[in-house]
A and B are shown apart, each in its own frame.
Chain A
Amino acid sequence: MARIDENGDRFGALIGAQFRARDREHRGDCPESETVAAYHERSLAGDERDGVERHLAGCAACREELAAIARASRDSAAVGAKPESGMRRWWTSAPVGFAIAGAIAIVVAIGLGRDYYNQESREQRQQLAMLSANRTTITAGQELHAMKRASVAKKAAESSNVAVPPSPPSQPAQASLASRAVTPEQMQATGAASSAIPGSGPATAPAIPGAAVGAATGSTLAQNQPSTFARLWRHTTVISPDGSVRWEFGSGGIIQRFGPGGMTAIRVPGVTADLLAGSAPSSAVCWIVGQGGVVLRTIDGFDWEKVNSPTSSDLIAVTASGPDAAVATARDSRRYATSDGGQTWQPQ
């Protein structure tokens, strides 16, 4: 017997029998498939892994499952893409049409699929995607890529045999793109620490990437209201000139400060408007403006106060030169200046 005990493993047999006697019958407390999968991939943190092993030791079904997963991973590695590879030339495998259990027919838009995914580089696909997902947001840092993008878009538009895909049961509204946090480099590129305003796309976009690309080449800056989440998602960063303090703010009037003293997050009492732009002339002074003409100011970097507003329309940019002086720009392009800390404003 090629087992660990050569002398007839009666004791081992007893252990085995005891395990089977202990095995649970019902599977109510078995870990989720995803947890088992993550365990198999060795990506569980220590205590969760211990918990899974404790369960496994008492659950023959899960052990069997895990052994099956191991077999499946090994055998399917030969036929499939590595997870997340996404860039494989899969179209060579003729993926035309697939019926789902007689219920849902997925008709494949061949031309669309090919042209859309037939991109060699991740970068190209990403750029194309940026254009296709919606009308693009133009921020200060993005102009550099404009030409490159335009050429990609042109190529894509040319090659799109726009096939009409079946309308899936629920097409999600294409929300506007999230704007990335403005990086310090971008901040510096824009001169004073005034932040760029990301535009937002329309709430609906064509489901066909090719068509979206075409629309996007117009580069119109849409003014539609983004969906609730896109507003939450978006945040703007302002960094003090010496780089020591960073404020992040966005929807709902929440302002986070990162810097000496750690991270603090506050909401200015009574302010729930979306905060759209800021400017920090020093590490203690920062001005933030936003929806409905809201103007906020801090002169110690931590405590914020709401100051008088020159307008009730959205303020989309601000440039401050000190605790008292700032110039704010409204969505209608009007500009207002203050030199008394926001008590009074003069149209420019």
Chain B
Amino acid sequence: MAARETSEEFIARHCAALADVYERGMARAYRVAPETMAAALYRGACSLPENASETVEHYLASVHAGDLALACALIAGDAAAWDEFVARYRPILYASARAIAGDELRARELADSLWAELYGIRGQTGARRPLLTYFHGRSSLATWLHAVLARRHIDALRAERRHSPLESVTADPAINSDPPNPEQPRYIELIGRALNDALDTLKPRDRLRLAYYYSDGLTLKEIGALMEEREWTVSRRLKRTREAIRRRVELRLRAAGLGTEEIRQCYDYAMEGWSSELKPATGAAAGGDATKDGRFVQSIRK
């Protein structure tokens, strides 16, 4: 939006569009006053990234007006709106929590903890900031709720992982039976940096696809669904990106004066150096799909 536009300027400039959103959202049916709706839209416009091509006009034209009107009514504490919201979204919220958390107990806990915050608990100052004020209608209310639940769940999981003692990964002395090569630390650093730089040069989307696949262990099908690509497209692009990285890495290593045999050694050392990280990663594969587990271990053993 135009930088530092006041809400009055915003309203004056977008009068017609605001009125349209108000009508479209049937905000009156939720007993939401025009200024309440406009204030929410102003907050939404302020939340748009600066210098992005998403203009305020586009936001106002595409906003999920009905959902935003409902949210405004909920924030205002309108009883009938809460009635409708609970009826419409409770089943969605529980199904969502089950899908996100996996087990029933955790899902209940996750979903139940959300209600109070959606409404906003009055703090000691007496002011409440309902979670719903962070909803601006840029997505549907349902998807926003999924996203909020997902973030809570994943943050909780990560906190647990951090606090649980790390699996002790003591290096197996059998692996390092060869006499140590004094070049090992240098090789590991070289290949690490080469790999890092190669990843940096990728287009964000290619890098993301790669992360889904190699870091998160998603299947081609899952990636296809997330990125709206066909499975074979995902596969083809992964291969292409991967080959590009490999070429780039080897080029870097050769430029550093390494020959074919030394490059092979680089890979070996890197695998040893990172094998401790590979192990927990397989267990953390999203979704816990058993068929996917263990492939890193498998590939290392080969």
Contact = CB atoms under 8 A, between A and B. Distances in A.
Contact of A79 (B80, B91, B212): B91
Interface stretch (B164-172, B173-181, B191-199, B254-262): B191-199
A145 interface: no
Contact of B22 (A36, A128, A178): A178
B235 A4 contact: yes
A142 interface: no
A129 interface: yes
Mostly, the A contact residues are helix
A67 B12 contact: no
B34 A233 contact: yes
Contacts of B213: 4, 12
B78 interface: yes
Interface string A80-113: 1101101010110101001011011011110011
Nearest to A17: B274
Contact of B147 (A5, A37, A113, A133): A37
Given A80-B89, A232-B11, A34 B115 contact: no
A71 B112 contact: no
A69 B79 contact: no
Nearest to B287: A67
A17 B296 CA distance: 10
A169 B78 CA distance: 9
Chain A's interface size range is 35 or more
Contacts of B246: 11
Contact of B96 (A23, A56, A75, A93): A75
Contacts of A117: 80, 84
A46 B239 CA distance: 25
Interface in B83-117: 83-84, 86-100, 112-113, 115-116
Interface string B197-222: 00100001101101111111110101
Given A18-B199, A107-B79, A117-B84, A230 B35 contact: yes
B302 interface: yes
B46 interface: no
Interface string B57-75: 0100010111100100000
B143 A71 contact: no
A243 interface: no
A123 to B, nearest CB: 11
Given A13-B300, A14-B271, A112-B80, A41 B143 contact: yes
Interface in B234-266: 235, 238-239, 242, 245-246
B65 to A, nearest CB: 8
B226 A180 contact: no
Contacts of B89: 80
Interface residues of B, number: 127
B95 A230 contact: no
A66 B281 contact: no
A47 B54 CA distance: 8
A15 interface: yes
Interface in B103-159: 112-113, 115-116, 119, 121-122, 128, 134-136, 138-144, 146-151, 153-155, 158
Contacts of A322: none
B18 interface: yes
B119 A45 contact: no
B19 interface: yes
Given A56-B208, A63-B211, A63-B212, A14 B147 contact: no
Given A68-B153, A95-B86, A233-B19, A47 B33 contact: no
A174 interface: yes
A174 B31 contact: yes
Contacts of B217: 16
Contacts of A209: 31, 80
A272 B26 CA distance: 31
A250 B8 CA distance: 13
Contacts of B267: 10-11, 14
B196 A233 contact: no
Given A19-B210, A33-B134, A103 B121 contact: yes
Contacts of B2: none
A70 B226 contact: yes
A3 B302 CA distance: 14
A74 B79 CA distance: 30
A108 to B, nearest CB: 5
B195 A41 contact: no
Contact of A34 (B95, B139, B192, B270): B139
B230 interface: no
3 cross-chain pairs, A with B, having the tightest CB-CB distances, nearest first = A229-B35, A168-B77, A8-B302
Interface of B: 8, 11-12, 15-16, 18-19, 22-23, 26, 28-29, 31-36, 38-39, 47, 49, 52-54, 58, 62, 64-67, 70, 76-80, 82-84, 86-100, 112-113, 115-116, 119, 121-122, 128, 134-136, 138-144, 146-151, 153-155, 158, 191-192, 195-196, 199, 204-205, 207-208, 210-218, 220, 222, 225-226, 228, 235, 238-239, 242, 245-246, 267, 270-271, 274, 277-278, 281, 286-287, 295-296, 298-300, 302
Given A61-B158, A76-B146, A133-B31, 8 more contacts: A13-B300, A21-B274, A33-B151, A47-B52, A48-B49, A63-B212, A133-B29, A174-B31
